[in-house]
């Protein structure tokens, strides 16, 4: 039976050079990942067929690269078995720090209530297109139960006691390898901290770093408010078609919260020149807080690696299971620079002592068995199909329900920003009609702290597979009927 990388094997993040030949670029990328320690000995690589499909290379090119690296001693191959990373000398650059002393942030406020329709004849939620949540009906319950049984039958009694404020070492070790392999993150188990979500991570970091904090504009309004509630001044960081305008960061800004791989909500990756400029700004004393909120979900473009890999001493990498598993899991993580490790660990200690431990062990088991990889890859295919349906129904074309709408930022992620056309209906009118019809989504205007364009933020992951086509059709009909509403005033994309 033919195996596909979407349902078996592991995720693997590789950046191939644009010049020098495809085979050589693949060999160099794999060699570099092994030398850096991102692919430790024993790591199972995808099949040649799967990796060729993922990178859009010929299978022969991948086979030749594997053979070359096997001859050099980097890989081991056996007939009928998966190709694995061989034991090689440790990389010259060892980033492992000494173990820190035990080590803190404000308790996060609950997320803002979802925009739940309250009007209309039914007065209830019918179609859930809210951003910020996955299809929880596809939660990998069997894999989670299997891992839970394993943990409960094998874990020592001490796992039910208090743990390190940074989290269980089992999960921190599993995350170190997983993040290196899939996102290019350079860290160690000592520098990983498990949190209950990005909200807690942001609270911890801002309370420790101090000083003004730059937040992307447009950006997540809830996190902007999280920063404000710590007493820190929020500095807008404008975004355009190349991502955050890094040149606007001034010397008095202590930290910058950015989404380099897939800007929220515009969807653009941070341009390479701006990545370099951001690295230079951080080297002068700033801290970059990287929110990699949906780094696992990319569709039409080569994966964009984590920015942290370019400047691990100046970047805090933040990830979460909210999109990959479910928001209710309350499992997230930070990869901290050594300079911040002690203060942030102390802040975590006094915030909540430590994150719930049993779920950490279960997630570690899912990662170790690659059940987590399999779930993410299956979800990626599922969400891509949903994205394609959304583009076909709402995107440019003769059947577009509301002529002139723009859908930026759809090569990745679980949501899209629909910008209403000039002279079209006002955002408030569209939201009112959505509420009347039982459609839950968000207006786009709160994503700007000032005056910005109007539109809708549409999540295409939350409905079940059966409910999604009906939700999409209901939204299309709503947009069509809203076209006769009150025309809005044109607003610039950035302002």
Phi, psi of 117, deg, nearest 5 = -60, 135
Question: What pLDDT is attached to residue 3?
Answer: 35
Q: 116: which 2 tokens?
A: 């739940």
Question: What secondary structure does DSSP assign to 430-476, as a single string?
Answer: HHHHHHHTTEE-EESGGGSSSS---EEEEESSSS-TTTHHHHHHHHH
Structure confidence by residue, pLDDT tens digits, 52-73: 888 889 998 998 889 888 877 7
Question: What pLDDT is attached to residue 89?
Answer: 46
* Average pLDDT value over all residues in the chain: 85
Check if the beta carbon of residue 313 is closer than 8 Å to that of residue 337: yes
Phi, psi of 484, deg, nearest 5 = -90, 10
Give CA angle at 79 (78, 83), nearest 5°: 45
Does pLDDT of 491 surpass 50?
no
Higher pLDDT, 97 or 274: 274
Residue among 379, 374, 296 at smallest CA distance from 8? 374
Check if the beta carbon of residue 463 is closer than 8 Å to that of residue 453: no
Question: What pLDDT is attached to residue 338?
Answer: 96
Q: What percent of the chain has pLDDT over 70?
A: 86
Does pLDDT of 486 surpass 60?
no
Structure confidence by residue, pLDDT tens digits, 454-483: 999 999 999 988 899 999 999 999 998 877
Check if the beta carbon of residue 483 is closer than 8 Å to that of residue 476: no
Residue 75: strand, helix, or coil? strand
Phi, psi of 316, deg, nearest 5 = -100, 115
- From 38-52, 231-245, 354-368, 375-389, the region with the lowest mean pLDDT: 38-52
Residue among 111, 132, 123 at smallest CA distance from 435? 123
Question: What pLDDT is attached to residue 488?
Answer: 43
Average pLDDT over every residue of 296-311: 84
Question: What pLDDT is attached to residue 33?
Answer: 87
Higher pLDDT, 368 or 412: 368
Structure confidence by residue, pLDDT tens digits, 28-45: 889 888 888 888 888 889
345-to-165, 198, 276, 314, 421 alpha-carbon distances in Å: 6, 15, 29, 17, 47
Residue among 275, 283, 292 at smallest CA distance from 313? 283
Cα 225 to Cα 259: distance, rounded to the nearest angstrom: 17
Question: What pLDDT is attached to residue 296?
Answer: 86
Cα 476 to Cα 417: distance, rounded to the nearest angstrom: 15
Domains of the chain: residue spans and CATH: 1-94 (1.10.10.10), 138-369 (3.40.640.10), 374-482 (3.90.1150.10)
β-strand 234-240 against 75-76: which pairing, if any?
unpaired
Question: What pLDDT is attached to residue 355?
Answer: 93
Question: What pLDDT is attached to residue 111?
Answer: 44
Q: Label residue 307 by pLDDT band (50, 70, 90).
A: very high
pTM of the model: 0.78
Does pLDDT of 138 surpass 90?
yes
Return the biggest CA–CA distance within the chain: 70
Average pLDDT over every residue of 156-167: 92
Please, where are the H alpha helices in 36-83?
A: 48-55, 59-71
């Amino acid at each position: 039976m033919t195996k596909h990388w979407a349902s078996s094997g592991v995720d693997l993040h590789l950046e191939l050079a644009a010049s020098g030949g495809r085979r050589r670029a693949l060999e160099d990328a794999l060699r570099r990942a092994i030398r850096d320690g991102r692919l430790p000995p024993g790591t199972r690589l995808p099949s040649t067929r799967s990796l060729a499909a993922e990178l859009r290379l010929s299978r022969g090119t991948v086979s030749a690269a594997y053979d070359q690296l096997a001859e050099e001693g980097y890989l081991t191959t056996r007939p009928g078995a998966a190709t694995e990373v061989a034991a090689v000398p440790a990389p010259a650059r060892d980033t492992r720090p000494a173990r820190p002393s035990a080590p803190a942030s404000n308790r996060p406020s609950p997320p803002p209530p979802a925009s739940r329709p309250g009007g209309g004849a039914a007065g209830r939620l019918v179609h859930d297109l809210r951003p910020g949540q996955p299809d929880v009906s596809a939660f990998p319950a069997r894999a989670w139960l299997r891992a839970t049984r394993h943990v409960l039958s094998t874990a020592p009694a001490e796992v039910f006691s208090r743990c390190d404020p940074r989290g269980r070492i089992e999960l921190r070790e599993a995350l170190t390898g997983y993040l290196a392999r899939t996102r290019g993150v350079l860290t160690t188990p000592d520098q990983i901290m498990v949190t209950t979500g990005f909200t807690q991570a942001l609270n911890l970091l801002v309370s420790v770093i101090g000083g003004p904090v730059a937040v992307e504009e447009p950006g997540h309004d809830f996190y902007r408010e999280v920063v404000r509630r710590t007493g820190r001044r929020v500095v807008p960081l404008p975004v355009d078609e190349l991502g955050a305008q890094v040149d606007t960061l001034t010397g008095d800004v202590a930290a910058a919260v950015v989404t380099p791989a897939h800007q929220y909500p515009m969807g653009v990756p941070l341009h390479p020149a701006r990545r370099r400029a951001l690295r230079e700004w951080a080297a002068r004393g700033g801290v970059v807080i990287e929110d990699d909120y949906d780094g696992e979900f990319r569709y039409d473009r080569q994966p964009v690696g984590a920015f942290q890999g370019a400047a691990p001493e100046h970047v805090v990498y933040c990830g979460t299971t909210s999109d990959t598993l479910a928001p209710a899991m309350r499992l997230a993580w930070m990869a901290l620079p050594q300079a911040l490790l002690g203060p942030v660990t102390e802040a975590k200690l006094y915030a909540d002592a430590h994150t719930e431990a049993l779920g950490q062990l279960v997630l570690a088991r899912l990662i170790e068995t690659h059940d987590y990889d399999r779930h993410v890859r299956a979800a990626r295919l599922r969400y891509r199909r949903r994205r394609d349906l959304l583009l076909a129904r709402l995107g440019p074309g003769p059947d577009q329900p509301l002529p002139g709408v723009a859908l930026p930022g759809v090569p990745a992620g679980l949501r899209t920003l629909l910008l209403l056309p000039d002279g079209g209906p006002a955002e408030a009118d569209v939201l009112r009609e959505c509420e009347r019809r039982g459609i839950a989504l968000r207006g786009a205007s709160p994503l700007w702290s000032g005056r910005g364009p109007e539109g809708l933020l549409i999540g295409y992951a939350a409905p079940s597979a059966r409910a999604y086509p009906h939700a999409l059709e209901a939204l299309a009909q709503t947009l069509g009927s809203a076209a006769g509403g009150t025309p809005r005033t044109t607003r610039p994309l950035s302002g």
